[in-house]
C-alpha cells in the first residue's frame, strides 16, 4: 500500500488533528424565529444564548441570517459594519458581550455585513473573552432556480467571500461554512485536512431542498471526513417570503444523527465527545488508504 502514497492525496499534506483543549462538552443549537423587527431578533437571540449557557453549553451555534428576514431587499437594510463595531454592528456587539459575560464560544450564525460597497453573508466566531476569532464570508452564493418551486439569487445583492475559515477555539478547531457552502464537499475536505474537529454550518435551507438534502448533506460531510458537523437553521415562519425548513442537527463522525429537531423555535443541547473521532478513524483508517497516486485535493491558499 506504500505505492498508494496517501500523504500525496492532500496538497500540502494533511495537518494532523491537534489535541483538542477539551474532550467532551455540550453544544447548543438555537433555532430562532426571525421577524422584521431587528431589535426584537437581537433580544430573542440574546435570551436563547444566555439560557443555553446557563444550562451548561460551552459552544452555542446560531442560524443563518438571524437578525433579518432572508431576502435581497432586506440584506442591505439590516447589514452591519462589523469592523466598525459598536452601534454600527448591534448584533455583533451583543454576541461579543454575551460570549464574554458567559465565558462561552459562540459561532454567531450569520448576518448581512456591509464592507465598503459590498454586502456579505458573514459568520463571526467569538472567543470566551468576547473577541472575534474568525470571520467567514459565505463563499458559495445561493443562486438557484428550480422551476415552479424556488428561485433565489443571492448574487443580486451579496458578494462572495474569498477565504475558507478555520478557527482554534476553547472547544476545538472549527471549520465554518454557511448554508450553500455545505453542498461543496471540497471545502469540508479542506477543513478536515487542516485538522478540524468540528464543522459548523449555519443554514436556512428551504421547503424544496430542505426535505431532500439538508440532513443528507450534513451526514455526508461528517462521514466523509470522520468529524462532527453541527447545523443551525431559523425556525419556520410559513407567512414569510422565504420559508425555512428548520431541522437544526448535530451529526457524529460515523454520519449518525446525534440530535435534531423539527421546525419550531427551540434550542437543542447535545454532547460532543472528541475521543470518538479517534475511535472511528482507527476503525476506518481512510487517511492511510487514500490513493495519492490517483487523486489530490489542493488547498490553494495553504
Phi, psi of 282 (to 5 degrees): -75, -40
For residue 90, the enclosing domain spans: 24-298
Active-site choice (30, 123, 124, 179): 179
Q: Is 123 a catalytic residue?
A: no
Any domain includes 199: yes
Any domain includes 250: yes
Cell numbers for 16? 494532523
pLDDT exceeds cutoff 70 at 1: no
Q: Is 64 a catalytic residue?
A: yes
User: What tens digit of pLDDT does each residue of 253-285 get?
Assistant: 999 999 999 999 999 999 999 999 999 999 999
Q: Please give the Cα distance from 30 to 269 (Å, whole number).
A: 9
Any domain includes 12: no
Any domain includes 5: no
User: What tens digit of pLDDT does each residue of 101-151 get?
Assistant: 999 999 999 999 999 999 999 999 999 999 999 999 999 999 999 898 888
User: What tens digit of pLDDT does each residue of 33-62 get?
Assistant: 999 999 999 999 999 999 999 999 999 999
Any domain includes 6: no
Q: Please give the Cα distance from 190 to 260 (Å, whole number).
A: 26
Residue 3 binned pLDDT confidence (cut-offs 50, 70, 90): confident
Neighbours of 74 (CB within 10 A): 19
Any domain includes 62: yes
Average predicted confidence (pLDDT) for the chain: 97
The CATH number given to whatever domain includes residue 114 is 3.60.110.10
Any domain includes 281: yes
Cell numbers for 268? 437543542
Give one DSSP letter per residue of 131-163, joined into a string.
Answer: -EEEEEE-SS--EEEETTTEEEEGGGT------
Total domain count for the chain? 1
User: Is there a contact between 116 and 158 (Cβ–Cβ < 8 Å)?
Assistant: no
The closest of 261, 260, 244 to 252, measured between CA atoms, is 260
Q: Please give the Cα distance from 182 to 171 (Å, whole number).
A: 21
Q: Which ranges in the chain belong to alpha helices (H)?
A: 38-54, 74-78, 90-102, 185-193, 209, 215-225, 275-283, 286-289
The closest of 234, 246, 215 to 70, measured between CA atoms, is 234
The closest of 251, 216, 210 to 234, measured between CA atoms, is 210
Active-site choice (30, 74, 138, 251): 138
User: What tens digit of pLDDT does each residue of 62-110 get?
Assistant: 999 999 999 999 999 999 999 999 999 999 999 999 999 999 999 999 9
Collapse the DSSP code of 28 into the 3-class scheme (helix H, G, I; strand E, B; otherwise coil) and give the result. Answer: strand
Residue 12 binned pLDDT confidence (cut-offs 50, 70, 90): very high
Residue 244 binned pLDDT confidence (cut-offs 50, 70, 90): very high
Any domain includes 154: yes
Residue bearing cell 481512510? 286
Q: Please give the Cα distance from 117 to 124 (Å, whole number).
A: 20
Active-site choice (30, 38, 64, 133): 64
Amino acid at each position: 500500500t506504500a505505492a498508494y502514497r496517501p500523504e500525496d492525496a492532500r496538497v500540502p499534506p494533511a495537518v494532523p488533528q491537534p489535541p483538542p483543549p477539551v474532550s467532551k462538552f455540550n453544544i447548543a443549537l438555537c433555532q430562532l424565529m426571525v421577524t422584521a423587527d431587528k431589535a426584537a431578533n437581537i433580544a430573542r437571540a440574546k435570551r436563547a444564548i444566555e439560557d443555553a449557557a446557563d444550562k451548561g453549553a460551552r459552544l452555542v451555534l446560531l442560524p443563518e441570517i438571524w437578525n433579518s428576514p432572508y431576502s435581497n431587499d432586506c440584506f442591505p437594510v439590516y447589514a452591519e459594519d462589523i469592523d466598525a463595531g459598536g452601534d454600527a454592528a448591534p448584533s455583533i456587539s451583543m454576541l461579543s458581550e454575551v460570549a464574554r459575560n458567559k465565558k462561552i464560544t459562540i459561532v454567531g450564525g450569520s448576518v448581512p455585513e456591509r464592507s465598503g460597497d459590498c454586502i456579505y453573508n458573514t459568520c463571526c466566531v467569538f472567543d470566551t473573552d468576547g473577541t472575534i476569532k474568525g470571520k467567514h464570508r459565505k463563499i458559495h452564493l445561493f443562486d438557484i432556480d428550480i422551476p415552479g418551486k424556488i428561485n433565489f439569487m443571492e448574487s443580486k445583492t451579496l458578494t462572495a467571500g474569498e477565504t475558507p475559515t478555520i478557527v482554534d477555539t476553547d472547544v476545538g478547531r472549527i471549520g465554518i461554512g454557511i448554508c450553500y457552502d455545505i453542498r461543496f464537499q471540497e471545502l469540508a475536505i479542506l477543513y478536515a485536512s487542516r485538522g478540524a474537529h468540528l464543522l459548523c454550518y449555519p443554514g436556512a435551507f428551504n421547503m424544496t431542498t430542505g426535505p431532500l438534502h439538508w440532513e443528507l448533506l450534513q451526514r455526508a460531510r461528517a462521514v466523509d471526513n470522520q468529524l462532527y458537523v453541527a447545523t443551525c437553521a431559523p425556525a419556520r415562519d410559513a407567512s414569510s417570503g422565504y420559508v425555512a425548513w428548520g431541522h437544526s442537527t448535530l451529526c457524529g463522525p460515523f454520519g449518525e444523527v446525534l440530535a435534531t429537531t423539527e421546525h419550531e423555535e427551540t434550542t437543542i443541547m447535545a454532547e460532543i465527545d472528541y475521543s470518538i473521532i479517534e475511535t472511528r478513524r482507527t476503525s476506518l483508517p481512510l487517511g492511510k488508504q487514500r490513493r495519492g497516486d490517483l487523486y489530490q485535493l489542493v488547498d490553494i491558499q495553504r
